């Protein structure tokens, strides 16, 4: 079956998906409450979309399509409030964070949905280990070829999103020493990493995808776990490297950052090359391991860069684009993150101050609610 046509539409629209943790407020472990949450949320209109994820202790929410940062932030706030209200009725806490710090993967239950059951059979224990939580951001593209161009042009900036969103320092009860341990779980899947370097949709759909489908390995774009992937049914590219932030405010800021970057890249139109990926895995690792304190190698100049300085320089470069898009406030949020530190640092601090991982999760739940931890 041929890959469906790319539904090109308005450029620079954006939408956000957040995978969220469902937490027992007694012991702050994950709790298999997805079915109850979905039932309760379905009893009245929800200000977006909500659906199950692969295990029963997680759900995914999705916004509508937006062009305006303020409207996106407003909807995320409404969705957060609806989730918190439902959680309060069930005595379930909702929080972000790329990993739960002490849940045991072997205790998780696969959600009863055919695709999730198929993935469990295919991937074995990796399916339960995939109880990790990410933010996905979609950006609308005016054409399929533009989508592929932006996908590859963004590779240089992916470490920014990893470091700014990093919120998964703990896993299975220990500090991993990574700011984002979540991406190591994603990287275990055979169809993860980067997309092939193709710049024409005809080559991607009629050659690459057709060949992959003929092998029986893939049936749709959902089978690719790439860091950025095209979504032809939406007419978007989808950024997938972010941990779920602890607050919807930071989630909205990251989406607006991507929107502004895409606006700049569309206007500049600099050529992209396969050689841009020579340092891709190294830079990705650095951002996962050290967060904003990472050291990068520029893919063109082969110059060593401090990631924090590179983020700040990019934010300054994007100022006119953010102003045109009405998202200057989002860049200010991320400027403060670059100076103060990411959520991985907050989680480590809360763990130290509370004397344990349960106190840290409690602080994360209160942060998602909008309370001071």
pLDDT tens, residue by residue, 204-244: 999 999 999 999 888 889 899 999 999 999 999 999 999 99
Residue 17 pLDDT > 90? yes
**Mean pLDDT, rounded, for 10-34:** 97
Distance, in Å, from the CA atom of 321 to the CA atom of 342, rounded to the nearest integer, reads 24
The average confidence (pLDDT) of the chain is 95
Q: How many angstroms separate the CA atoms of 149 and 141, rounded? A: 10
**Dihedral class, residue 150 (left if φ above 0, else alpha if ψ from -120 to 50, else beta):** alpha
Going along the chain from its start, the domains and CATH numbers come out as: 14-369 (3.30.590.20)
| Cα–Cα separations (whole angstroms), residue 22 to 62, 73, 103 | 16, 22, 11
* Per-residue pLDDT at 352 exceeds 80: yes
Q: Is 68 exposed, middle or buried (0-12, 13-18, 19+ CB in 10 A)?
A: middle
Q: What percent of the chain has pLDDT over 70?
A: 99
Beta strand 14-24 pairing with 58-62: antiparallel
* Matching residue, tokens 């972000």: 96
CA 64 to chain centre: 16
Q: pLDDT at position 49, please?
A: 97
Burial of 201 (0-12, 13-18, 19+ CB in 10 A): buried
Whether 127 has a pLDDT exceeding 80, the answer reads no
Query: pTM score, two decimals?
Result: 0.96
pLDDT confidence of residue 186: 86
pLDDT (0 to 100) of residue 54: 80
DSSP-derived letter for residue 372 is -
Angle in degrees, 0-180, between the axes of helices 328-340 and 307-317, rounded to the nearest 10: 160
User: Shortest CA distance to 228 belongs to which of 294, 147, 296?
Assistant: 147
């Amino acid at each position: 079956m041929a890959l469906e046509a790319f539904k090109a539409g308005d450029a620079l629209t954006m939408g956000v998906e957040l995978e969220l943790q469902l937490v027992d407020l007694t012991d702050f472990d994950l709790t298999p409450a997805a079915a109850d949450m979905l039932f309760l949320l379905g009893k009245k209109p929800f200000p977006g979309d909500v659906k199950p994820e692969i295990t029963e202790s997680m759900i995914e929410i999705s916004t509508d399509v937006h062009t305006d940062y303020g409207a996106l932030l407003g909807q995320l706030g409404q969705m957060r409030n609806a989730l918190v209200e439902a959680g309060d009725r069930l005595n379930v806490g909702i929080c972000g964070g790329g990993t739960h710090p002490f849940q045991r993967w072997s205790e998780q239950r696969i959600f009863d949905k055919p695709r999730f059951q198929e993935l469990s059979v295919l991937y074995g224990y990796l399916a339960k280990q995939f109880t990790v939580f990410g933010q996905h951001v979609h950006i609308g593209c005016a054409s399929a070829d533009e989508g592929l161009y932006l996908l590859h042009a963004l590779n240089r900036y992916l470490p920014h999103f990893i470091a700014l969103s990093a919120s998964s320092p703990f896993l299975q009860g220990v500090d991993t020493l990574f700011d984002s341990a979540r991406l190591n779980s994603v990287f275990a899947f055979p169809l993860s990493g980067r997309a092939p370097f193709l710049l024409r949709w005809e080559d991607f759909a009629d050659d690459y995808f057709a060949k992959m489908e003929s092998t029986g390995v893939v049936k749709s774009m959902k089978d690719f776990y790439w860091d950025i992937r095209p979504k032809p049914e939406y007419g978007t590219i989808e950024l997938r490297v972010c941990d779920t932030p602890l607050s919807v405010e930071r989630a909205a800021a990251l989406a607006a950052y991507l929107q502004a970057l895409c606006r700049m890249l569309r206007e500049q139109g600099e050529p992209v090359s396969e050689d841009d990926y020579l340092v891709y895995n190294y830079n990705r690792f650095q951002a996962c391991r050290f967060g904003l304190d990472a050291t990068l190698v520029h893919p063109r100049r082969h110059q060593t860069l401090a990631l924090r300085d590179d983020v700040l320089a990019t934010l300054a470069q994007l100022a006119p684009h953010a102003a045109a898009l009405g998202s200057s406030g989002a860049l200010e949020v991320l400027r403060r993150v670059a100076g103060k530190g990411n959520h991985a640092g907050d989680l480590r601090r809360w763990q130290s101050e509370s004397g344990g991982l349960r106190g840290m999760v409690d602080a994360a739940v209160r942060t998602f609610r909008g309370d001071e931890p």
